[in-house]
Structure 1
Amino acid sequence: MRPPRIAREVRDAIEARYVAGSEPSSVLPSERRLAAEFGVARATIRAALAMLREQQQIRSVGGGPPVVVDPRLTKAPQLTSFTQDARARGWRPSSRVLDAAEEQADVTVARDLGIPPASGVVRVRRLRLADHSPMAVEEVWLPQAIFPGLLGHDLTGSLYELFETEYYAGILRHDRRISAISLDDQLAALLEVEAGSAALFATQLGFDRRGRRVELGRSIYRGDRYDFTTVTFAARRRDASVPPADRAWRQRRLVAEGAR
């Protein structure tokens, strides 16, 4: 049932005054103070705060006062799963399996996974959620030879944990490429945003400890809920480790030797 209009208006007012632009972990006023400030009943305040929690804009820990959270989930350069990232933020990760099947690898999938065309693969497409809020749609192709019987397992949890515990094929490295896209009607409906909203499209190839290509993934991340961080190093010349004075001396010596 849709919340009453007054509760939605109070939610918007609380968001504008106390959430938008606030630092993460900022504490909101008490329900009593908010009720007095906006001239509404505490039940209305509780309904408004509940909506903000559902939107993952605030959260409460151990019965304490609500605090502002950063609604974006940041992917650090370290290789971590969605489940690990969500849990680190104090969110409850979950998945809804949209489709899962055993099929033959087409030419593109076979090439990326380094297997012959028409080899058996398992394709799993899932909607990833944090505190019941949709965050991403992911689709992966996995070599059936490495993951036999995968469809007999629960696929709503962390696949990476399943790979490690059941198949001893933990992901050690990702090769990932990220680009910006706009969501079509179908994807927008799954992610509960407007059609045409910005999103991040990531393709990734996962390698296990033995260097095998064990995962080809294509994921769509909500642009308003996700960002990625990278670590970049400056390019070094071959002689960059040689002090400038030594480089000058070496250059003079080479010139002198060339003149002999």
Structure 2
Amino acid sequence: MADLVYRKVMRDIKKRILNSEYPEMKLPDERTLSKIYKVSRSSIKRALGILAQQGIIFKKRGSGTFINPLYLKNRAMFNYEGSNIGITDSFQLDGKQQGIQLLDYKVIPASAEIQQDLFLEPDEFVYKIRRLRLADNDPFIIETGYIPIRIAPTLSPAVVKGSIFNYLEKDKGKAVTRSFMTISVSPSQHQDHQYLNLRVEEPVALMEGIFFLDDGTPFEVSNMRVHYKYMKYNTFVNLNEE
């Protein structure tokens, strides 16, 4: 899937923000940015619009566009900005190398709950994939996902040892672009003590959600148990329609 111009601009601006390349925490105006990147004003406007939605920049009428200082102080672990919203590309780990250890891979009949969540027929089967995600060699997520076989019939153990979403995009021409997520905290369980090295008295963060393809098809139901030290999530609220 070809990357869009505004995404490349957005990534570069964000990179420059993190490298402190904008003096006085202020971005050039749209016309100047259009000349710098050799793209249309509409592409610049869209890139800046997304950065504003993420709370990274803000516009002050009559003064220009400024960088949100709290973003630099409290960067979230999640950074959805590419063409899919997979953990491999979206989880920020301060330069650490991500790794995946496959814990379990099997084909099972879809339960009534999974049938409902993924809009499946009663006789359909799903992959049940359980993986441990690593930051360098430090475990940070136990991930359990359920994916319909009919949507990804060639999802082999070799594939799921890497990024499933990237495989889907590069090899199958489909992208996971939407999700509904619930984030909560729970007392840690035996699996958290075993795989995440949590102590009995330490909590674990839970991320549960459904991921959708770009055509709206439910693709995966996922449950992620996240080590609390890696759990940081920012949100930005804007009541204006602009």
Q: TM-score, length-normalised on structure 1? A: 0.59
Q: What is residue 181 of structure 1 aligned with on the other side?
A: 186
Contact 2:178 2:211 in 1 (8 A): yes
Aligned residue pair count: 169
Cα separation, 2, equivalents of 1:235 and 1:98? 46
Deviations 1:73-98 (A, max 9, x none): 61246564322245763211111111
Shift of 1:235: 8.7
Matched, 1:74 2:81: no
Deviations 1:175-219 (A, max 9, x none): 111111111122222001212311211111111111100111110
Cα separation, 2, equivalents of 1:74 and 1:95? 18
Contact 2:93 2:135 in 1 (8 A): no
**Unmatched 5+ stretches in structure 2:** 1-18, 20-72
CA-based RMSD of the aligned residues comes to 2.7
Q: What is residue 139 of structure 1 aligned with on the other side?
A: 144
**Unmatched 5+ stretches in structure 1:** 1-24, 26-69, 242-260
Moved over 3 A (4+): 76-80, 85-88, 233-236
| Pair 95,233 (structure 1): closer, same or farther in 2 beyond 3 Å | same
| Pair 88,225 (structure 1): closer, same or farther in 2 beyond 3 Å | closer
Identity across aligned pairs (percent)?
A: 21
Cα separation, 2, equivalents of 1:76 and 1:136? 16
Matched, 1:130 2:135: yes
The one-letter code of the counterpart of 1:95 is I
Cα separation, 2, equivalents of 1:100 and 1:92? 23
The one-letter code of the counterpart of 2:77 is T
Matched, 1:97 2:117: no
| Pair 87,177 (structure 1): closer, same or farther in 2 beyond 3 Å | closer
What's the secondary structure of 1:204's corresponding residue?
strand
Cα separation, 2, equivalents of 1:158 and 1:195? 31
Cα separation, 2, equivalents of 1:146 and 1:110? 14
Instruction: Write the mapping of 1:216-227 to structure 2, written as runs, cut at 5 A.
Output: 216-227=221-232
Cα separation, 2, equivalents of 1:130 and 1:163? 23
Q: What is residue 153 of structure 1 aligned with on the other side?
A: 158
The one-letter code of the counterpart of 1:199 is V
Q: TM-score, length-normalised on structure 2? A: 0.63
Cα separation, 2, equivalents of 1:159 and 1:90? 21
Matched, 1:201 2:206: yes
The one of the two structures with greater contact order (alpha-carbon pairs below 8 A, sep at least 6) is 2
Point out the structure with max Rg over C-alpha.
Answer: 1
Deviations 1:144-169 (A, max 9, x none): 00100212533221111111122322
Contact 1:101 1:151 in 2 (8 A): no
Contact 1:121 1:144 in 2 (8 A): yes
